[in-house]
Structure 1
Amino acid sequence: MEFRNIDEQIIQKYREDETLMIRLFVQWCSNNELDPHVLYKKAYPEQMVNVALQEVIESDDGFDDFHIDNETMLDVLQLFGNEDLAFVVADEIERQSRK
């Protein structure tokens, strides 16, 4: 029984961390005037709507004044194994730097 509780705690912690990662991504997109849905779709074209992404966007809990720098965003995405999304974000960073 104790192992089950620990497993549930680990799963819950991962979900909380994943939600934070999504919030940071949404905020980074907002900071850079990008649509998070569009970037996510570029990274994962085969996936349907990402429910967690949609929930974070709809919750809009006042993260607006928080600036996420490019390096941090890339590090967070890679930490969570979102290499495809990190690649798309890196492309956007490169594209914006040429402006």
Structure 2
Amino acid sequence: MERKEIEQYIIEKYRQDEDQMILVFAQWCINHSLDPLILYTEAYPHQSKNEKLYEAIEKTVSRSESEYIPDESLIEILSIFDNNELAFIVNEYIAQRHTNGNN
């Protein structure tokens, strides 16, 4: 592979991984009866509509069809992609859930 092809491959792989991260976030929200758009807006109130999030939401399945997504895994994935504001908001919802006794 030439340098340009390698760079393009890396960029494409990152985009695919980012899409997966968004889908995991959206599915985690669905699994906990939360609206992913609300959490995202809380984290990034000044950002415009996130098309990738809307696409991911369309790909989610019902809570009963979904596999379990550990809270810690979601926080870690969000942090890897520098979505620290979103990780903070998610963490607040996790803490609230634990406070209310809904583990």
Please tell me the TM-score bracket, short chain as reference: over 0.9
What TM-score do the two structures reach when normalised by structure 2? 0.89
* Equivalent AA in structure 2 for residue 94 of structure 1: A
Give the structure 2 partner of residue 98 of structure 1. 99
TM-score (norm 1): 0.92
Aligned to 2:90: 89
Cα deviation for residue 62 of structure 1 reads 7.3
Q: Distance in 1 between matches of 2:99 and 2:59?
A: 33
RMSD: 1.7
* Alignment: residue pair count: 99
Higher relative contact order (CA 8 A, sep 6+): 1
Separation (CA, whole Å) in 2 of partners of 1:4 and 1:60: 34
Q: Which runs of 5+ in 2 are unaligned?
A: none
Q: Which runs of 5+ in 1 are unaligned?
A: none
2:66 & 2:85 partners in 1: Cα distance? 27
Cα contact 2:31–2:62 (8 A) shared by 1: no
Shift of 1:34: 0.3
User: Distance in 2 between the 1:4 and 1:77 partners?
Assistant: 28
How far apart, CA to CA, are the structure 1 residues paired with 2:31 and 2:62?
13
